[in-house]
Structure 1
Amino acid sequence: MDYQGKVAWITGASSGIGAALARELAARGASVVLSGRDEARLAEVAQACGGDTLILAFDVRDETALADATAKAIGWKGHVDIAFANAGISQRSRALKTAMQVYRDIIEVDLVAQIAFTQGLIGHMAERGSGALGFISSIAGKVGVPMRTAYSAAKFGLAGYADALRAELTVNGVSVHTIYPGSVATNVSRNALTAEGTARGRSDKAIDEGIPADEAARQMLDGIARGTREIIVAEGMELAMGEARRTPEALFDQVAGMVAKGYMDKLEQQ
């Protein structure tokens, strides 16, 4: 994929991986739609992009605001070529101590809201016969990680949705890419929820010494450009963990082939 002239929409674009993706996409010639809750921080990212940007500030959990933003994003240039379901929040708490509301909150943001974001775009992309979807999961979405039971549940779920969606949309010319970052140097740990649902307020050594966000964004976009369906962005033990659970390419082809042979049509007729 050549990003020049493409329109890319990113949720969670005000910081971290989302902001890094925005800067890298702009550097590669894309027009970028920036979404998040904080309009002032989105404006700073837009300025750093130095290119053609549109700010759509809203809470991804607000489906009315999401529908309005989707119409504006498509209407800006007449189409959206690439969408990144990136908005999310992590966790640092033992399951034995974690309030059930923390599970609800993390799954609502990291999974349900990202599905809603995608569902609003797939009809547009399928009708055009082209498009790319990037889902920011996590190594914790490949291997369950301690202190992140809610986060792992949401990120595993996002990967499952992406895999099933890929099987359905390949015949429509829409590519689906699931991205599994390991430790990336962002505020993800500082913003993570505690057992009571408050922000943790401090970072982890592994995160602070992780892959720079700009480098992670370059690896992600390079992977999409190559057509890679599972993109693992990690180092050391985290990379080994991700690779140990990598889905065989032949399996992706097999499941997509079922759709091409009429599996969904047959199932609907039963």
Structure 2
Amino acid sequence: MSMSASPLNGRTAVVTGAARGLGAALARDLAARGAKVALLGREEGALNRVRDSLPGTSACWEVDVTDDRGMARAGARIRAELGPPSVVVANAGVAEGGPFGASDPAVWRRVVEVNLVGSAVTARTFLPDLVGTAGYFLQVGSLASIGAAPMMSAYCASKAGAEAFAHALRAEVAHQRVGVGIAYINWTDTDMIRDADQHAVLRALRGHMPPPARKVYPVAHVARRLVTAIERRRPSVYVPGWLRATQLVRAAMPPVVTMLSRRELPRLAAVESFEATGLLGAGGRAAGGTGPRPAHD
């Protein structure tokens, strides 16, 4: 679809977690389709580089998505500089792995805060704009929203919560002509996933998934599918497409996962001990703190 033909042309789109990975790829695809893009994230230097690489009009702000006041200030500047948003993508997310009992409580809590509370703060900040523009909110979820896995308790809990939040929000604002979609994505080639493979606990987790579920997808491919779903105001988008089928067997997944885990985890632990990973990837480490942060690269 050409820029002029895209319904995003001339619209303002907000992307959280836009400094790298999927967020940066989403910003590029949105800008390529003519949107004015507001990039939000924790890494000012990286945000600036993404902004400078985009065609058309864009701007960026360093902000923590869990900070209500900071997000409100960023929202006010976006409205003043780019206009009221028609599209908001709650993409910011972090992950950690390892046994729940050995997890750092602060790290575990931070995953839930960024992935779930941060999505709610994002929606609260921009919901009046989306009502005014009859806009669209996309919650980036995961296969973990559908089926929980061992050694990923914080991530699975937060992504399942974000899915439930998006469903509730969709029902609440449908009569106001605001669309709410959920993106269910699998392994995507970001620094988070590359870092995950360096840890035995997560490398083993992915290695014991069925072959189709192990595949890592290029970030540009995932972003392109998500932006097309935004254009079409889809209530859901699955990348890869076969993930949709997991909804049909959702109720059967927990006992199957438990059965496999009861058999495999002791065997794997005998080979290599499972330890907490901490927040994964450069983006996860940048998001690890709370409150205002100095500018950094």
TM-score computed with the length of structure 2 as normaliser: 0.73
Query: 1:131 is matched with which residue?
Result: 135
Query: 1:162 is matched with which residue?
Result: 166
Cα 1:202/1:153, change in 2 over 3 Å: closer
Cα 1:100/1:203, change in 2 over 3 Å: closer
Q: CA shift at 1:154, angstroms?
A: 0.6
Aligned mates of 1:165, 1:172 — CA distance in 2: 11
Q: CA shift at 1:75, angstroms?
A: 1.8
- Contact 1:139–1:242, Cα closer than 8 Å, also in 2: no
1:188 partner SS: helix
Query: 1:181 is matched with which residue?
Result: 185
Pick from 215, 218, 235: which aligns with 1:212?
218
Query: Does 2:76 correspond to 1:71?
Result: yes
- Contact 2:16–2:23, Cα closer than 8 Å, also in 1: yes
Cα 1:212/1:241, change in 2 over 3 Å: same
Pairing of 1:36-185 with structure 2 (within 5 A): 36-126=41-131, 128=132, 130-185=134-189
- Contact 2:75–2:126, Cα closer than 8 Å, also in 1: yes
Query: 1:259 is matched with which residue?
Result: none
Structure 1 residues 3-58: Cα deviation after superposition (integer angstroms, max 9, x where no partner):
11111001100111100000000111111001111111011111222221111111
Aligned mates of 2:55, 2:214 — CA distance in 1: 27
- Contact 2:8–2:34, Cα closer than 8 Å, also in 1: yes
1:10 partner SS: strand
1:189 partner SS: helix
Which of the pair has the greater relative contact order for Cα pairs under 8 Å at 6+ separation? 2
Structure 1 residues 154-173: Cα deviation after superposition (integer angstroms, max 9, x where no partner):
11111111101100111111
Query: 2:233 is matched with which residue?
Result: 227
Q: CA shift at 1:191, angstroms?
A: 5.7
Query: 2:273 is matched with which residue?
Result: none
Structure 1 residues 104-129: Cα deviation after superposition (integer angstroms, max 9, x where no partner):
11111111122011101112222x15
**Aligned Cα RMSD in Å?**
2.6
Q: CA shift at 1:202, angstroms?
A: 11
Aligned mates of 2:219, 2:247 — CA distance in 1: 19
Which amino acid is the alignment partner of residue 229 of structure 1? P
Percent identical pairs in the alignment equals 31
Out of 116-125 and 131-140, give the one that drifted further. Answer: 116-125
Q: CA shift at 1:99, angstroms?
A: 2.9
Cα 1:129/1:27, change in 2 over 3 Å: closer
Q: CA shift at 1:235, angstroms?
A: 6.2
TM-score computed with the length of structure 1 as normaliser: 0.80
Larger Rg: 2
1:133 partner SS: strand
Aligned mates of 1:221, 1:70 — CA distance in 2: 21
Structure 1 residues 215-244: Cα deviation after superposition (integer angstroms, max 9, x where no partner):
0011111122233211111266x5643564
Pairing of 1:190-269 with structure 2 (within 5 A): 190=194, 210-234=216-240, 240-241=245-246, 244-245=249-250
- Contact 1:143–1:242, Cα closer than 8 Å, also in 2: no
Unpaired runs of 5+ residues, structure 1, are: 193-198, 247-270
- Contact 2:96–2:154, Cα closer than 8 Å, also in 1: yes
Query: 2:295 is matched with which residue?
Result: none
Cα 1:171/1:58, change in 2 over 3 Å: same
Aligned mates of 2:50, 2:248 — CA distance in 1: 32
